[in-house]
Amino acid sequence: MGLIEARGVTVELGGRKVLWQIDFTIERGEIVTVVGPNGSGKSTFVRAMVGAVPPSEGRVTRSPGLVLGYVPQRLSLDAAMPLTVGRFLNLPRHRRSSEVAAMLDRVGVGGLEHRQMSALSGGQFQRALLARALLPRPDLLILDEPTQSLDQPGTAAFYRLIETVRQDLGCAVLMVSHDLHVVMSASDRVLCINGHICCEGTPTVVSAAPEYRALFGTGTHGAFALYQHQHDHHHPESEGSGADA
Protein backbone atom coordinates (compact mmCIF):
# COMPACT_ATOMS: atom_id res chain seq x y z
CA MET A 1 0.00 0.00 0.00
CA GLY A 2 0.97 3.67 -0.20
CA LEU A 3 2.45 5.54 2.76
CA ILE A 4 -0.93 7.20 3.20
CA GLU A 5 -4.22 6.24 1.61
CA ALA A 6 -7.41 8.25 1.95
CA ARG A 7 -10.79 7.14 0.67
CA GLY A 8 -13.92 9.29 0.57
CA VAL A 9 -12.64 11.67 3.23
CA THR A 10 -14.78 14.58 4.39
CA VAL A 11 -13.58 16.99 7.09
CA GLU A 12 -15.85 19.34 8.99
CA LEU A 13 -14.55 22.23 11.07
CA GLY A 14 -16.81 24.45 13.15
CA GLY A 15 -19.85 22.66 11.71
CA ARG A 16 -18.88 23.39 8.12
CA LYS A 17 -17.58 21.03 5.44
CA VAL A 18 -14.07 22.18 4.61
CA LEU A 19 -13.08 19.14 2.53
CA TRP A 20 -15.24 16.55 0.85
CA GLN A 21 -14.84 13.30 -1.08
CA ILE A 22 -11.06 13.20 -0.95
CA ASP A 23 -9.36 10.15 -2.44
CA PHE A 24 -5.60 10.31 -2.17
CA THR A 25 -2.54 8.07 -2.09
CA ILE A 26 1.11 8.95 -1.70
CA GLU A 27 3.75 6.37 -2.49
CA ARG A 28 7.27 6.00 -1.15
CA GLY A 29 9.66 8.51 -2.74
CA GLU A 30 6.99 10.62 -4.46
CA ILE A 31 6.90 14.45 -4.39
CA VAL A 32 3.30 15.65 -4.26
CA THR A 33 2.39 19.32 -4.08
CA VAL A 34 -0.96 20.70 -2.99
CA VAL A 35 -2.00 24.00 -4.55
CA GLY A 36 -5.24 25.96 -4.22
CA PRO A 37 -6.59 29.40 -3.38
CA ASN A 38 -6.52 30.86 0.15
CA GLY A 39 -8.89 29.05 2.46
CA SER A 40 -9.38 26.17 0.01
CA GLY A 41 -8.46 23.56 2.61
CA LYS A 42 -4.81 22.81 1.81
CA SER A 43 -3.57 22.86 5.40
CA THR A 44 -6.64 20.95 6.55
CA PHE A 45 -5.95 18.34 3.88
CA VAL A 46 -2.41 17.80 5.13
CA ARG A 47 -3.58 17.73 8.74
CA ALA A 48 -6.20 15.13 7.89
CA MET A 49 -3.65 12.99 6.04
CA VAL A 50 -1.26 12.90 9.00
CA GLY A 51 -4.06 12.26 11.50
CA ALA A 52 -4.09 15.69 13.18
CA VAL A 53 -7.79 16.17 12.34
CA PRO A 54 -10.25 13.28 12.14
CA PRO A 55 -12.43 12.83 9.05
CA SER A 56 -16.18 13.03 9.63
CA GLU A 57 -16.63 10.58 6.77
CA GLY A 58 -14.29 8.22 4.97
CA ARG A 59 -11.04 6.76 6.10
CA VAL A 60 -7.32 7.57 6.16
CA THR A 61 -4.87 4.68 6.44
CA ARG A 62 -1.21 5.23 7.20
CA SER A 63 1.38 2.52 6.75
CA PRO A 64 2.41 1.03 10.10
CA GLY A 65 5.40 2.75 11.73
CA LEU A 66 5.30 5.68 9.30
CA VAL A 67 7.90 8.29 10.36
CA LEU A 68 6.94 11.88 9.56
CA GLY A 69 9.16 14.96 9.32
CA TYR A 70 7.44 18.33 9.47
CA VAL A 71 8.68 21.74 8.27
CA PRO A 72 6.28 24.46 9.44
CA GLN A 73 5.33 27.61 7.55
CA ARG A 74 7.34 29.61 10.00
CA LEU A 75 8.51 29.33 13.55
CA SER A 76 8.72 32.37 15.73
CA LEU A 77 11.49 32.17 18.24
CA ASP A 78 12.02 34.78 20.89
CA ALA A 79 15.08 36.68 19.65
CA ALA A 80 16.04 37.35 23.26
CA MET A 81 16.29 33.63 23.98
CA PRO A 82 19.70 32.28 23.07
CA LEU A 83 19.37 29.13 20.99
CA THR A 84 22.12 27.87 18.74
CA VAL A 85 21.42 25.90 15.59
CA GLY A 86 23.13 22.89 17.19
CA ARG A 87 20.86 22.99 20.24
CA PHE A 88 17.80 23.49 18.10
CA LEU A 89 18.62 20.32 16.17
CA ASN A 90 18.96 18.47 19.47
CA LEU A 91 15.32 19.20 20.35
CA PRO A 92 13.37 17.24 21.32
CA ARG A 93 15.93 14.42 21.22
CA HIS A 94 19.66 14.40 21.67
CA ARG A 95 21.54 13.67 18.43
CA ARG A 96 25.21 12.87 17.94
CA SER A 97 27.14 15.99 16.96
CA SER A 98 28.51 14.18 13.91
CA GLU A 99 24.94 13.42 12.83
CA VAL A 100 23.89 17.06 13.30
CA ALA A 101 26.93 18.31 11.37
CA ALA A 102 26.32 15.89 8.50
CA MET A 103 22.65 16.90 8.22
CA LEU A 104 23.49 20.62 8.22
CA ASP A 105 26.02 19.93 5.48
CA ARG A 106 23.47 17.99 3.47
CA VAL A 107 21.01 20.89 3.45
CA GLY A 108 23.65 23.48 2.59
CA VAL A 109 24.26 25.16 5.94
CA GLY A 110 27.29 23.18 7.10
CA GLY A 111 29.32 24.62 9.96
CA LEU A 112 26.54 26.77 11.44
CA GLU A 113 26.06 24.71 14.62
CA HIS A 114 27.23 27.51 16.89
CA ARG A 115 25.33 30.31 15.17
CA GLN A 116 22.29 31.72 16.99
CA MET A 117 18.99 30.78 15.33
CA SER A 118 18.02 34.47 15.50
CA ALA A 119 21.11 35.39 13.47
CA LEU A 120 20.25 33.19 10.48
CA SER A 121 19.02 34.55 7.16
CA GLY A 122 15.55 33.48 5.97
CA GLY A 123 17.00 30.80 3.71
CA GLN A 124 19.37 29.49 6.39
CA PHE A 125 16.55 29.38 8.92
CA GLN A 126 14.35 27.27 6.62
CA ARG A 127 17.28 24.92 6.03
CA ALA A 128 17.78 24.56 9.77
CA LEU A 129 14.08 23.64 10.08
CA LEU A 130 14.51 21.17 7.23
CA ALA A 131 17.61 19.61 8.83
CA ARG A 132 15.68 19.11 12.06
CA ALA A 133 12.76 17.50 10.24
CA LEU A 134 15.14 15.12 8.45
CA LEU A 135 17.07 13.91 11.49
CA PRO A 136 14.56 11.15 12.37
CA ARG A 137 14.95 9.88 8.77
CA PRO A 138 11.28 10.35 7.88
CA ASP A 139 9.47 8.21 5.32
CA LEU A 140 7.40 11.27 4.56
CA LEU A 141 8.51 14.89 4.74
CA ILE A 142 5.68 17.41 5.10
CA LEU A 143 6.21 21.06 4.23
CA ASP A 144 3.51 23.69 4.69
CA GLU A 145 4.39 26.71 2.57
CA PRO A 146 8.04 26.49 3.57
CA THR A 147 9.31 29.39 1.47
CA GLN A 148 7.02 32.22 2.49
CA SER A 149 9.89 34.36 3.71
CA LEU A 150 12.18 33.69 0.73
CA ASP A 151 12.64 35.63 -2.49
CA GLN A 152 12.12 33.89 -5.82
CA PRO A 153 15.69 32.63 -6.40
CA GLY A 154 15.80 31.54 -2.74
CA THR A 155 12.52 29.70 -3.23
CA ALA A 156 13.72 27.97 -6.40
CA ALA A 157 16.94 26.94 -4.63
CA PHE A 158 14.97 25.57 -1.68
CA TYR A 159 12.80 23.37 -3.91
CA ARG A 160 15.84 22.09 -5.78
CA LEU A 161 17.25 21.14 -2.41
CA ILE A 162 14.05 19.26 -1.60
CA GLU A 163 14.49 17.21 -4.77
CA THR A 164 18.09 16.38 -3.85
CA VAL A 165 17.03 15.37 -0.35
CA ARG A 166 14.35 13.13 -1.78
CA GLN A 167 16.92 11.46 -4.00
CA ASP A 168 19.47 11.05 -1.22
CA LEU A 169 17.15 9.92 1.56
CA GLY A 170 14.40 8.32 -0.50
CA CYS A 171 11.63 10.01 1.49
CA ALA A 172 8.31 11.01 0.01
CA VAL A 173 7.43 14.70 0.14
CA LEU A 174 3.99 16.22 0.60
CA MET A 175 3.98 19.99 0.43
CA VAL A 176 1.58 22.88 0.35
CA SER A 177 2.63 25.83 -1.72
CA HIS A 178 1.58 29.14 -3.13
CA ASP A 179 4.69 29.32 -5.29
CA LEU A 180 2.89 27.77 -8.21
CA HIS A 181 5.38 28.28 -10.96
CA VAL A 182 8.40 27.28 -8.96
CA VAL A 183 7.04 24.34 -7.13
CA MET A 184 5.05 22.70 -9.84
CA SER A 185 8.12 21.75 -11.79
CA ALA A 186 9.73 20.19 -8.72
CA SER A 187 6.76 17.87 -8.20
CA ASP A 188 5.95 14.44 -9.55
CA ARG A 189 2.28 15.09 -8.98
CA VAL A 190 0.20 18.15 -8.24
CA LEU A 191 -3.13 18.20 -6.44
CA CYS A 192 -5.29 21.22 -7.00
CA ILE A 193 -7.70 21.62 -4.09
CA ASN A 194 -10.73 23.83 -3.63
CA GLY A 195 -12.69 22.01 -0.95
CA HIS A 196 -12.47 18.92 -3.10
CA ILE A 197 -9.77 17.76 -5.51
CA CYS A 198 -10.42 19.83 -8.63
CA CYS A 199 -7.74 18.17 -10.68
CA GLU A 200 -4.53 16.24 -10.23
CA GLY A 201 -1.71 14.83 -12.28
CA THR A 202 1.75 15.75 -13.49
CA PRO A 203 2.58 19.47 -13.35
CA THR A 204 2.13 19.76 -17.10
CA VAL A 205 -1.28 18.09 -17.06
CA VAL A 206 -2.53 20.16 -14.11
CA SER A 207 -1.29 23.48 -15.44
CA ALA A 208 -3.23 22.84 -18.66
CA ALA A 209 -6.41 21.64 -16.90
CA PRO A 210 -9.46 23.91 -17.23
CA GLU A 211 -10.21 23.53 -13.49
CA TYR A 212 -6.74 24.76 -12.61
CA ARG A 213 -6.92 27.65 -15.07
CA ALA A 214 -10.31 28.65 -13.73
CA LEU A 215 -8.75 29.01 -10.27
CA PHE A 216 -5.40 30.52 -11.17
CA GLY A 217 -5.87 32.01 -14.60
CA THR A 218 -3.45 31.59 -17.43
CA GLY A 219 -1.29 34.60 -16.77
CA THR A 220 1.79 32.88 -15.46
CA HIS A 221 3.96 34.45 -18.17
CA GLY A 222 5.56 31.13 -18.89
CA ALA A 223 7.27 31.23 -15.52
CA PHE A 224 6.15 27.66 -14.97
CA ALA A 225 8.74 26.47 -17.47
CA LEU A 226 11.58 28.47 -16.01
CA TYR A 227 12.38 26.49 -12.94
CA GLN A 228 12.74 22.99 -14.26
CA HIS A 229 15.24 21.50 -11.88
CA GLN A 230 17.93 20.89 -14.48
CA HIS A 231 18.25 24.65 -14.91
CA ASP A 232 21.11 25.92 -12.82
CA HIS A 233 20.61 29.60 -13.52
CA HIS A 234 17.86 32.18 -13.33
CA HIS A 235 16.08 33.10 -16.55
CA PRO A 236 14.42 36.44 -17.21
CA GLU A 237 10.63 36.10 -17.31
CA SER A 238 10.47 37.07 -20.97
CA GLU A 239 12.10 33.81 -22.02
CA GLY A 240 9.19 31.78 -20.74
CA SER A 241 7.29 29.43 -22.99
CA GLY A 242 6.27 25.81 -23.02
CA ALA A 243 3.62 24.47 -20.71
CA ASP A 244 2.00 27.82 -20.18
CA ALA A 245 2.06 29.01 -23.77
Ligand X SMILES: Nc1ncnc2c1ncn2[C@@H]1O[C@H](COP(=O)(O)OP(=O)(O)OP(=O)(O)O)[C@@H](O)[C@H]1O
**Cα gap 105→99, rounded to integer Å:** 10
- Per CB under 6 A, the list member of 4, 6, 32, 41 interacting with ligand X is 41
CB of 8 or CB of 39, closer to ligand X: 39
Q: Which candidate, 73, 41, 58, 56, places its Cα nearest to that of 4?
A: 58
Size of site (CB under 6 A) for ligand X: 11
Say how many Å lie between the first and final Cα of the chain, rounded: 38
CB of 26 or CB of 176, closer to ligand X: 176
CB of 139 or CB of 200, closer to ligand X: 200
170 dihedral zone (left: phi>0; alpha: psi -120 to 50; beta): left
**Is residue 55 within the footprint of ligand X (CB under 6 A)?**
no
CB of 43 or CB of 204, closer to ligand X: 43
**Is residue 180 within the footprint of ligand X (CB under 6 A)?**
no
**Is residue 36 within the footprint of ligand X (CB under 6 A)?**
yes
**Cα gap 176→158, rounded to integer Å:** 14
**Is residue 25 within the footprint of ligand X (CB under 6 A)?**
no
| Rounded alpha-carbon distances, angstroms, from residue 197 to 19, 139, 185 | 9, 24, 19
Q: Which candidate, 161, 157, 106, 98, places its Cα nearest to that of 131?
A: 106
Mask 2-21, x = binds ligand X (CB under 6 A)? Answer: -----------xx---x---
Q: Which residues bind ligand X (CB under 6 A)?
A: 13-14, 18, 36, 38-44
